[in-house]
DNA sequence: TTGTAGGCGTTATCAC
DNA sequence: GTGATAACGCCTACAA
């Protein structure tokens, strides 16, 4: 019995030396076992090693291994908005790929704040992450370039940063938006309002709007200038813009296009508040499919992004670069899918 | 000029030795600086150190530091389903707290699969995480206990595991569900169907159902046995259960209660398919508020969970334990909030 | 088939 | 105020 009042000693994590001693071999042999070099170990030794590891519940220390090998087996993922379902789906895709290869993921959420983003990149550097997948705010070109200089694979998702040579994975926004816009024209809408958070230099938004105007201009459609921008956090701005569109299009058959999922929701909310019915009074559609899109009203027409696959492809690209591939940077644009539902009926 | 054809050497990450040399001091002094021990460094030295660090873009290697200090400054978070908005909100809350304290988060998603969960816990152990926040499947008691034995703070969210002494953070399910049920009774529903994924030993589901039946039994209400369980991935099961409820309650005023957000969506979908109108033909409500709950029909009545705060509190608890707090394990049950919308009108 | 020795980048312990 | 030195746990030549 323990006469002192000390708490029971917490069992210290076993080290490779403990395992070596228990198995009656040297650390080298254990290390060989850990790196899968079974063929240079005798059967009986193998057995003793396995028993020792199980007995001691040995888990190789990744920090020690990482320090020695100068690689952490961790991939950083920095999201502009982790609460967006887009992000979690990408995360799942990426995780499923990298887990199979023994990598772990360190995640961060910047809330679209360039300062947070900068700090997180620094944190990632301190972790000596082997690769980075980032949904960038677009304001930290310098550090991103710095990482690239250090030969750390960086893959951008959703957004590209002009002038930066990184691998990029996202939806083929131009193509998907063109298809969608042509569909809206076929449905016979006289006016289509493009509602977006400030396009500025966010490439995905810009591509969508460009496709929109290109198709409209080609068709000689009057909505070429129907762009309505607002800050997502400022409901007043959105309502003001909506008001502007509604007034300008009074008496015409019309619809709203939302640049992303969150904008869809905000617009639907605003329409309901104003007592406008979907689709009788006004049509609506938007980028990003979701669980709720099918069940709102008679369903919302959306452009689905292949989010899970975007995550997979981004991680595969990181691993490919890690594997030594030094070919030209690639821009991977995956097809989006127009999902037609009840919110955009024919106006003819 | 470089006569060989080698690519330009990628600038190697600076080490503490490089900084020491650049600043003309010893590694020890740099280390002192890094640990914030400024008062034992002269002003001029301090200045040279700061210049050297900036110049070399030095980032302390967390693996080396972690190895030496036997702590990783990483917290593991294991989610049963990361695509559930519940999870991301918890994640954000946890992240905001731990970032302020210099910790990073390693995330995993188990898809409610105990095998994946086990592998991920092993991975976390290899990372030597300083603490673990887990939304447990409930099937890996042994390893979780093992971690606790090693003095690693483990905090459970949403679900408790019977017989395990861990800190726990979640919603006060019993209280919130009681309030909601009383409200439904007040509205005058003759039958209320409780739709849930298998309750089994998932404590949060069990608490909700218990509160439900307790209130009903107290009121002598006939729905005490109106439990309808189904596997979330099997739509046929859900529809079968829904059919059963619809038939059994024909002619009565009735509503469905969904045990969580995903179930809400599935039920709404199934009702629409059957041509049943909400709330004219049948009412609906459920646990978990969401962005879409206000905009479906005249709004869905929900019980909102304080998800962000759950994440915060869980992380705070981890840090508190890390700080040496050895008091009794705590069960933190945060208040939920009943949000009444149009899907559960009075039946009187 | 197995073992020895040195070092990865830090911090802690002493010493000056 | 500052520095030399020995670990931390692992891997990788190089030997045997």
Q: What's the pLDDT at A3?
A: 35
For chain B, the average pLDDT equals 94
Interfacial B residues in 54-113 facing A (CB < 8 Å):
57, 59-64, 66-67, 72, 74, 82-83, 85, 87-89, 91-92, 95, 99, 104-109
* CA–CA separation, B251 and B244 (whole Å): 14
Indicate whether A5 pLDDT > 70.
no
* CA–CA separation, A100 and A213 (whole Å): 43
Indicate whether B326 pLDDT > 60.
yes
Question: Does A126 contact B265 at a Cβ distance shorter than 8 Å?
Answer: no
| Span A205-227, average pLDDT | 97
Note whether A72-170+307-334 and A173-305 share their fold: yes
Is residue B182 within 8 Å of B335, Cβ to Cβ? no
Q: What are phi and psi of B77, to 5 degrees?
A: -130, 120
Indicate whether A2 pLDDT > 50.
no
Is residue A237 within 8 Å of A245, Cβ to Cβ? no
Q: Which of B72, B264, B303, B276 is nearest to B170 (CA)?
A: B303
Q: What's the pLDDT at B63?
A: 97
pLDDT, tens digit, 9 for 90 and up, residues B151-201 = 999 999 999 988 778 999 999 999 999 999 999 999 999 999 999 999 988
Give the model's confidence band at A7: pLDDT under 50 very low, under 70 low, under 90 confident, else very high: very low
pTM summary value? 0.94
Indicate whether B7 pLDDT > 50.
no
Q: Which of A211, A191, A174, A182 is nearest to A283 (CA)?
A: A191
Is residue B135 within 8 Å of B80, Cβ to Cβ? yes
| Span B139-150, average pLDDT | 92
| Optimal mutation site among B7, B14, B90, B292, interface A, most CBs of chain A within 10 A | B292
| Span A138-148, average pLDDT | 92
| Span B230-252, average pLDDT | 95
| Span B270-296, average pLDDT | 96
Provide CB contacts within 8 A for A210, sequence distance 6+: A174
Indicate whether B9 pLDDT > 50.
no
Which chain C positions have some atom within 7 A of a protein CB? 1-5, 7-13
Helix (H, G, I), strand (E, B), or coil: what is residue B339? strand
Indicate whether A158 pLDDT > 90.
yes
Provide CB contacts within 8 A for B33, sequence distance 6+: B41, B46, B49
Would you give the DSSP letter of residue A324?
Answer: T
Q: What's the pLDDT at A4?
A: 35
Is residue B85 within 8 Å of A81, Cβ to Cβ? no
| Span A39-62, average pLDDT | 94
CA distances from A75 to A27, A89, B79, B90, B249 (A): 29, 17, 18, 22, 53
| Span B228-236, average pLDDT | 94
pLDDT, tens digit, 9 for 90 and up, residues A77-106 = 999 999 999 999 999 999 999 999 999 999
For residue A247, what are its two tokens? 């007034």
Provide CB contacts within 8 A for B99, sequence distance 6+: A119
Give the model's confidence band at A164: pLDDT under 50 very low, under 70 low, under 90 confident, else very high: confident
Indicate whether B211 pLDDT > 90.
yes
Q: How far is the CA of A25 from the C1' of C2 (A)?
A: 8
Q: Domain B72-170+307-334 is of which CATH architecture?
A: 3-Layer(aba) Sandwich (3.40)
For residue A273, what are its two tokens? 């508040």
Is residue B230 within 8 Å of B267, Cβ to Cβ? no
* CA–CA separation, A273 and B322 (whole Å): 49
Q: What are phi and psi of A285, to 5 degrees?
A: -160, 170
Indicate whether B101 pLDDT > 80.
yes
Residues with CB under 7 A from strand C: A 24-29, 32, 39-42, 44-45, 64, 67-68, 70; B 13, 15-17, 27-28, 30-31, 34-35, 58-61, 64-65, 67-69
Give, in words, the CATH class of B173-305.
alpha beta
Does at least one atom of strand D sit less than 7 Å from the CB of A56?
Answer: no
Instruction: Show me where the domains of chain B are located.
Output: 16-59, 72-170+307-334, 173-305
| Span A149-164, average pLDDT | 91
Among all strands, which nt has the closest C1' to B14 (CA)? C9
Q: What's the pLDDT at A11?
A: 66
Q: Which residues of B touch A87 (CB under 8 A)?
A: 88
| Window from A90-104, A180-194, B135-149 with minimum mean pLDDT | B135-149
Q: Which residues of B touch A105 (CB under 8 A)?
A: 106-108
Q: Which of A159, A113, A116 is nearest to A260 (CA)?
A: A159
Q: What's the pLDDT at A59?
A: 96
For chain A, the average pLDDT equals 94
Q: What's the pLDDT at B261?
A: 97
């Amino acid at each position: 019995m323990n006469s002192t009042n000390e708490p029971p000693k917490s069992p210290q994590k076993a080290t490779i030396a403990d395992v070596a001693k228990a198995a009656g071999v040297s650390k080298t042999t254990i290390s060989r076992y850990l790196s899968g070099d079974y063929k240079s170990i005798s059967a009986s030794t193998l057995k003793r090693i396995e028993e020792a590891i199980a007995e001691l519940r040995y888990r190789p220390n990744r920090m020690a291994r990482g320090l020695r090998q100068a690689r952490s087996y961790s991939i950083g993922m920095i999201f502009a908005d982790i609460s967006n379902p887009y992000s979690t789906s990408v995360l799942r895709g990426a995780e499923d790929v990298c887990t199979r290869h023994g990598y772990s993921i360190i995640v961060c959420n910047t809330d679209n704040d360039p300062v947070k983003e900068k700090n997180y990149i620094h944190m990632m550097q301190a972790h000596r992450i082997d690769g980075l997948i980032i949904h960038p705010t677009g304001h930290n070109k310098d550090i991103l370039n710095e990482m690239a200089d250090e030969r750390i694979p960086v893959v951008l998702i959703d957004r590209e940063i002009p002038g930066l040579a990184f691998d990029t994975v996202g939806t083929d926004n131009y193509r998907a938006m063109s298809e969608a816009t042509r569909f809206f024209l076929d449905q016979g809408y006289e006016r289509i309002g493009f509602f977006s958070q400030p396009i500025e230099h966010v490439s995905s938004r810009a591509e969508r709007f460009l496709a929109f105007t290109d198709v409209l201009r080609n068709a000689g459609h009057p909505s070429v200038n129907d762009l309505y921008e607002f800050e997502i956090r400022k409901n007043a701005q959105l309502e003001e813009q909506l008001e502007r569109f509604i007034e300008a299009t009074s008496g015409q058959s019309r619809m709203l296009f939302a640049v992303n999922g969150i904008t869809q929701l905000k617009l639907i909310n605003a329409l309901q508040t104003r007592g406008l019915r979907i689709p009788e009074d006004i049509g609506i559609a938007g980028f990003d499919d979701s669980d709720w899109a099918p069940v709102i009203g008679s369903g919302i027409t959306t452009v689905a992004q292949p989010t899970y696959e975007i995550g997979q492809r981004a991680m595969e690209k990181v691993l490919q670069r890690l594997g030594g591939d030094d070919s030209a940077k690639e821009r991977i644009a995956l097809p989006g899918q127009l999902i037609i539902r009840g919110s955009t009926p024919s106006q003819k």
